Structure formats: C-alpha cells, structure tokens
Structure 1
C-alpha cells in the first residue's frame, strides 16, 4: 500500500486487489482512498476509522478532501482519535472506475412503460447501456457487487495494519458494513450503521417500503411549506395539489429545462436533460428531501426543493428538476446502477410479456399506496433500470448469517423516523438479523443523521471512540 503512514493527508493511497476474489491470483483492480490523519497526540489515537457515505456509487474520498480543507464532515472527537480513511468502493471514484459510453447511456427512454412496446424499448436501452459498460470496463463490471467490496475493505484493513475495523457507514454504507460483518465478524472493533438498507427483503418489499417512506416525507415537506412559506417559496393553500398538477402538466407537455442546454451560461449546461416530464419530477424529488436543513454548505435543504418547484411552476423552468446526464466515460452514474444490478433480483426478460406484466403490477402497487409519487423511488430505478442488464446477479438478497454474527461485537444502528430513502422498516429488519445490535431512533426528517452533528451523532461518537452503546430503544430529536 503506497504511503500508508503519510504525515497529514494522503490523497494517493492505492491498493491492488483481485477483480474476482475467488481467483486471488488473477486479474487485479485498483482501490483508491483518501485519508486524514488523526489530529491528536499519539496517546489519543485509537486507530483508523473507515467511512462510506452511501450510494451505491458514492465517492468516499471526496469527504476526506472536504475534511482536510476545513469542512467539518467528521466531529472533533473522531478527528482527534482516528485516522479517517475514505476508501472508494471498487468501480467508484478514485478506484478503477466503471466506464461506459456516455452517448449510449444518455439514450432517452421511459422508466414507466405504458405498454409492451415501450417496455421492450426500455429493456433494449438498458441492455445497450450495460453492454457499453461491459465493453469499456471489462471483467470488473461482473464483480462490483457489495460482497466483493466488503472483501476489499478487509484487504484495506490488513494493508493498514492498524488493528480491528472501525466503520461508519451511511445509507448503502450500512449494507456494505453488514456484508463485512457477515464475512469477518471477529475483525470488528466498532461499527455504526446510519440510514439502514435491508438487503434481506424481496424486490417487491423494497419497492413498497422505499416508495412509501418517500411519500411520507414528501407529505411532510408539503406541511412544512404551508407553515414556512417564505423559506419554501411556494404560495398556495394546497401545495400537494400543486405538486400533482405539476406532474400531470409535465406528462401532457414536457417542461423546458433551459439551463441544461449545452449553450447555457449555467454550471449544469450540457449535463442534464433539456426537458422534464412527470416521471422525472417524481423520481428526482426524492433526492431533494434528503436534508431538511442545508449541511456544511455542501448539501441543500428543503428550501432548495421549494426553489426548484417554484421556478418550474412560476417560470416554466425545470432546470433544477432535470435528470442528470453522463458527460464522460467515467460518470458516477454508471457505478451506481452497475453495483445495484449485481445485488438485486430482477425479472427474467426472456419472456417479455411476463416481465412487462410483473413491472406493471409493481407500478400499480405504488399507485395504490402513494398518491403523489406512485412507485417512483430508488428501488424503482433498480427494478426497471436493471431489466435487460447483460451481467447476472451475483449477490442476491439474503438475510445475514446470524450464527456468524454472534461472533461480532455490539453494532450500533441508527435511523430517522421520517427518512425519504431508507425506511424505518428496514432498520427494524436489519436489527432482527444482527444479534448484538442496538437501534437509536432520531425523531426527525431526512436521510441519515451523522452529518447533522446533533444528539444522534454524539451517541455515535461516544460508541465509536469509547465503545459505549446507548440504551437500546433510545430516541433523540437531533
């Protein structure tokens, strides 16, 4: 491992690992990572703490860069006691990336096909995208699953030679952490999982809980708008109806996104679709709900969603709600889907009629329970986006090995009551799978809790630093 004990910040640490862990002497791929050295004295230092911000496809190394530049991503307590290690999972960021043809990737297709002809077109586009990625990326595309990434984390731990694993995983980082715990339970010192993904559930369950938690948070956003008109920017007595009317209008006639035009004088020029339909709004708004308040100047709060909706409704300008496009052959969009397509079952498209009916039924389920978003959710993008993907699922849904996890130390789980992306149901499901786990509930809104640096983060710090768990069932406000 290059320069593993640099004096302050090392942005060039790399480690070679097997592409296929079942063939350790075979072809290799490179893992990249950032690191921020512990700020305390040698006597303060506990070891290394690895961090994953979510995704799949989230670039961890960026967060070490932010921390090193003075943005307080991590608390003073963690920064004092740990070298913060931000490893990019295989295929992501500074690691050998998943590569695809941007032009092929950006083909326009519906994600909500209304008939079998549209369904077959969507599946063809998915297949074309996947084949372009396979051509550009090679064998690595078949091995970017979460279990392989968990084996990579163990390789990094061994290369650091710095004791047992300390892990802070947000969102998808909880799935990655759970996969590591199943494989290497005795190698963990402390593990905090924040914003829980439950990989044991069926695809239908994931769609139901993923879309309903999004619907719940969107309705809470409407209530917030009604009582915070200045911050929200939307004026009206029935904001939920305004949203539904906007989606319906966009379905009838796409709304222009002029800031996405290649010739526009904007930061997003050429990097997003130049018009927006109703499905785009329903799918894209989920991400806007992740943070009720802005975080560290890096992440937008709900007021930004109010601005996006207001610009669209009042000025017929949907730039802020437009779908992101790939702009080069290493876009972060690629790894997100490539990882998910190896981790989740999908319908067999050798029988197109049967596969279309299954997707249609899943869409119907969403419309029954969610009056605003229907089936739209991150789970839907996986269910629909992986149909036709040319690489087989290698890490399908499964419950964690509870016998193995009996050997793990106590693990801390955290979830907000009103998380738009990871349902509280998922936290309860994962808790059932990990014998020595404690769940802390944040009685609030938004996706994950650590970056808010409130009471919940303080409990995580106390556990990660000193090993002291809060009482199971603890509920905090911030």
Structure 2
C-alpha cells in the first residue's frame, strides 16, 4: 500500500513537544478496575538490617530511614521515601518518591512486588490505586504485598513541572503547517521547543537533570530495602522493562523475581525505537481494520488496503480542516491521532475505536477527542491527573542522545513514512525538544547485562504495537539468566489482559519460583 496521491509529509508541533510519544511506551488501559478490599497495615517501619545488604558509602541514611505508612485512598497505605537527588553526591540534596501499598489478601505475605506501568512517566501509584485487579491476579494478590510508586520526576513524587493545565490544552490545539523549502516550519518548531525547554528548566529546577532511568533504578533498591526484602520482586510493563533491566544490571545480586512484560530493547537508539514503533503501529492498524471488517457495522468497506486508505483520508481531512469537539476545544490532527492510537493498545477496545471512527467520518470528532483526553490523562474538569507528557520528555532527554540535524531528521522522516504510511510522519522530529533541553543526555543505548542475577522472565506479545515482539527476544537474549515467553495476541503487554496460560506462568514464577521453559508460547 502507498500513501494517497498528493499527500506530503508534514511537521507537527505536537510531535516536537512529545505529546505523541508520551503514550507510546505506556502500559495503560482505558478503564479503572476495583481497588484494594481490606484495610492495610500502617505505622512507622524501618528496614530490617538483614534485608538491606551492603550499602554504598553515603547512602546509609536512606537505607535506614523510618518510613511512615499511613491510610490513604480508602483501602491502601501510602508513604513518602527520601532518596538522594544525585547518587554521585548523596549529601547534596534529597527528593521524595511516593509509594502506595496494597497488602496481601491471604495471611502473611511472602514478600513485596514493586510495579511500574510504563512511560517513562507512568504513575505506578495510580495503576495500583485504580486498576489493582488488572495489574495482578487474585492468586498473586493473595501471596504478595503490591507496591506502586511514582518514579522520580513523576506525578506525586518530586516531579517535573512544565506546562499548566491550560497551557497543555493550548499546546494541543496548536498546529504548524507543512514545511517550506527554506525550513520556516522547522524553525518555528525549534523555537517552540526552546520555549518549552526553558519553561521546564525554570519551573522544575535542578531535579530536571536527575530523572534518568539509572537513578530511578537506584531508588528502587532503597524501596526494596525499606519494604524488608533481601531481593527485589518486580513487575514492569513497557518502559518498566527498561527500568527493571537497569535495576538488574546495577544490582544483579539483589534481583529476585523480575517479570519484564512488553519489553524494550535497551541497545536501540531513540531513532531506532521510533522506527520500530512506526512499523508496529502500522501492523496493528491493519489488524484492527481486518477485525473491524470481519464484524458488523464497520464503517471501513472493502479489503484491508481500502480500509486503511479510508483512514488515511480521514486523517488528512482532520489535518487540513480541524473542527471543535462538543465542548468547543479544537480537535487538531495531534489529538485525533493520539485518540486513535490509544485503543490499539488493547484489542478489547477496538469496538470503542470503531464507534469513534464512525462518528468522525460523519464530521463529529468529539468521541476521538474523548479518547485523546484519556491518552493525555485529562479529566472532565480540564485538569490533567498526571505530568506524564512532561516526565516522558524529561526522562528520554537524559536517557538518549537525540538526532536534531535537519537533514538527518528529514531522512528519518522518510524512513518512518516508508515503515508506516499512516503514522510515520506523525512520529518525526522528536529530537528538537531534547536539542533545546538544559540537561543531558547522561545515558547511551547499550545491551542489558545482569550476570549472576536469578532467572528473569521476559514476555513478548506478537501483535504488540508499542513494543514490537522482536524487542522482547532481544532483551531476553541480552540478559544472561532470562527466559522468554510469547503470547500470540494483539495489543500492548500480556499479563493481566491475555489468557490463563500467561497468568499461570507469571503467578507460579512469583509464588513458587517456577521458571518456565525458555521459548514457551501461549
């Protein structure tokens, strides 16, 4: 399939500000699940010295601190943990990490599982509070306490601050038209990126230079000690697999039972990650169209190629003629595509996407704006419940060197469009924001290594649109003690949304230490 005749790739302000990418590595769902169902244990707790292990010089106060767990959010316990701003100079300043705990439902727990839902920028606090029963099975909840935490820079922890809610709304409504031969649009994007970077630096301060993944992984070791576990038990989705792999590399001897679901390949550059996602989203789009056409009331007639072409025409219409939603906010192509992408993360939400496509084809973009608001975590009252978009950019600008040379970005755009005629152009030029960033980068792409770690479990989904299946194979190959499990399905990540085969493997691994055969398929 090729693009529609006459279509030219365009530069989008929303991509330069990172709004598109903020969703791409998230392990989110559309609807919240039930909360905890019994009162938690609360009170002051200090770490068991036997669980702490060897502590690097200067970090002793953090590993031995008293943590006050207080009742919160109806049936949970919450705490704030102090960690060093800068691990190379732990006496310099401290920041806080917010955590929420759901206690094991059946007697004395055999340990604690830390959870990260993805991002970077995803709120582990929110995922445990709002969707606990989707994160872990009843069986697993019976045997373990579950702790969600907001990594440094995120949400309730010491957080990155960039845009206000009104500024975020305004940014989503802006649009810069197609590039001109003299690069006028590119310069406009670069100017906006500089303005955004300046605001983030002014409002966040020096924290902005210390929200990298390795620092967050070191925070996890302090959390491990403070919940009393000699080894970390961890469930990470999407970007959470990169965080988990970083932990295993830093602390292989303290890595216990780690499940890395929807894996990233840490050896890839940012540009390679984006290209892989472009191809995977195009594949997911075609799977969605095929599923739509196999059912009733699909507004995309013909074969899959014709259905995809109809959606590309719809995108072009929205891009050229944005319209207000029911509440009066302008639905630009940025919000429209973001809303479209969200249901591709879970095939159970494909009917919701079909309904939104149907109304959009009739000229009403309200339903797609509703989906975009879910993606951006915007509440009905106009507030944004997290800082996920800003945190995503802050972490990635530290973790990855970014390409910002105009000629190379144009070549990258051409590759993205070739890999994904539908979405590719919307994923281009992301390096502009990090070009203007006041800090970093401090990381470099490199294969994961964790020699001496206990067996780790890496899960890949064959139809994953955000973290392509091949990345899970690569991560499992890099980690010396990892075994790989495949779910043959559609959507992002597997545990909690796939089948009994995956659930039984993960639960037995955590509860009994049962390591599946490498290469098992579900």
Tell me the TM-score normalized by structure 2: 0.79
User: What's the CA shift for 1:189?
Assistant: 1.4
- Pairwise mapping of residues 105-144 of structure 1 onto structure 2 (< 5 A)? 106-107=170-171, 108-110=174-176, 113=179, 116-144=183-211
Which one of the candidate residues 392, 395, 412 is aligned to 2:440?
A: 392
**Secondary structure, in 3 states, of the residue corresponding to 2:511?**
helix
The 2-side partners of 1:206 and 1:114 are apart by 28
Q: Which residue of 2 aligns with 1:2?
A: 67
Matched, 1:346 2:377: no
Which one of the candidate residues 312, 327, 351 is aligned to 1:303?
A: 351
Q: Is the 8 A contact 1:209 1:425 kept in 2?
A: no
**Secondary structure, in 3 states, of the residue corresponding to 2:467?**
coil
The 1-side partners of 2:479 and 2:107 are apart by 35
RMSD of aligned alpha carbons = 2.5
User: What's the CA shift for 1:162?
Assistant: 2.5
Q: Which residue of 2 aligns with 1:290?
A: 345
Which one of the candidate residues 495, 502, 505 is aligned to 1:456?
A: 502
Q: Which residue of 1 aligns with 2:150?
A: 88
| Residues 330 and 125 (structure 1), Cα distance of their counterparts in 2 relative to 1, 3 Å cut | farther
The 1-side partners of 2:399 and 2:176 are apart by 23
Q: Is the 8 A contact 1:276 1:318 kept in 2?
A: no
The 1-side partners of 2:179 and 2:509 are apart by 47
Q: Deviations over 1:360-402 (max 9, x none)?
A: 111101122222222445xx474354342232211232222x3
Q: Is the 8 A contact 1:197 1:426 kept in 2?
A: yes
Q: Which residue of 1 aligns with 2:120?
A: 56
Q: Which residue of 2 aligns with 1:264?
A: none
Q: Which residue of 1 aligns with 2:361?
A: 313
The 2-side partners of 1:375 and 1:358 are apart by 14
The 2-side partners of 1:393 and 1:213 are apart by 27
**Secondary structure, in 3 states, of the residue corresponding to 2:198?**
helix
User: What's the CA shift for 1:473?
Assistant: 1.0
Q: Which residue of 2 aligns with 1:331?
A: 387
Which one of the candidate residues 196, 199, 205 is aligned to 2:272?
A: 205
Q: Is the 8 A contact 1:229 1:235 kept in 2?
A: no
Q: Is the 8 A contact 2:413 2:429 kept in 1?
A: no
User: What's the CA shift for 1:347?
Assistant: 2.5
Which segment is superposed worse, 111-120 or 419-428? 111-120
| Residues 164 and 41 (structure 1), Cα distance of their counterparts in 2 relative to 1, 3 Å cut | same
Which one of the candidate residues 202, 211, 225 is aligned to 1:158?
A: 225
Matched, 1:274 2:330: yes
**Length, aligned pairs only:** 439
Matched, 1:214 2:281: yes
User: What's the CA shift for 1:82?
Assistant: 0.6
**Secondary structure, in 3 states, of the residue corresponding to 1:289?**
helix
The gaps in structure 2 that reach 5 residues or longer are 1-65
| Residues 198 and 112 (structure 1), Cα distance of their counterparts in 2 relative to 1, 3 Å cut | farther
Which segment is superposed worse, 171-180 or 333-342? 333-342
User: What's the CA shift for 1:203?
Assistant: 2.9
User: What's the CA shift for 1:309?
Assistant: 1.4
**Secondary structure, in 3 states, of the residue corresponding to 2:347?**
coil
Q: Which residue of 1 aligns with 2:520?
A: 474
The gaps in structure 1 that reach 5 residues or longer are 262-272, 294-300, 349-354
Which one of the candidate residues 242, 245, 263 is aligned to 2:313?
A: 245
Q: Is the 8 A contact 2:211 2:394 kept in 1?
A: yes
Which segment is superposed worse, 453-462 or 334-343? 453-462
Q: Which residue of 1 aligns with 2:62?
A: none
User: What's the CA shift for 1:460?
Assistant: 1.1
Q: Which residue of 2 aligns with 1:267?
A: none
Q: Deviations over 1:19-48 (max 9, x none)?
A: 111110111111001100111122xx2111
Q: Which residue of 1 aligns with 2:110?
A: 46
User: What's the CA shift for 1:407?
Assistant: 1.0
**Secondary structure, in 3 states, of the residue corresponding to 1:166?**
strand
The 1-side partners of 2:281 and 2:459 are apart by 18
| Residues 114 and 370 (structure 1), Cα distance of their counterparts in 2 relative to 1, 3 Å cut | farther
Q: Segments of 4+ in structure 1 off by > 6 A?
A: 5-8
Q: Which residue of 2 aligns with 1:360?
A: 410
Q: Is the 8 A contact 1:340 1:382 kept in 2?
A: no
The 1-side partners of 2:270 and 2:197 are apart by 20
Which segment is superposed worse, 196-205 or 215-224? 196-205
- Pairwise mapping of residues 151-190 of structure 1 onto structure 2 (< 5 A)? 151-190=218-257
Q: Is the 8 A contact 1:50 1:167 kept in 2?
A: yes
User: What's the CA shift for 1:333?
Assistant: 2.2
User: What's the CA shift for 1:104?
Assistant: 5.4
Q: Which residue of 2 aligns with 1:409?
A: 454
The 1-side partners of 2:335 and 2:124 are apart by 27
Q: Which residue of 2 aligns with 1:20?
A: 86
Q: Deviations over 1:123-147 (max 9, x none)?
A: 2212211211111111111111111
Q: Is the 8 A contact 2:483 2:518 kept in 1?
A: yes
User: What's the CA shift for 1:336?
Assistant: 1.7
Q: Is the 8 A contact 2:152 2:158 kept in 1?
A: yes
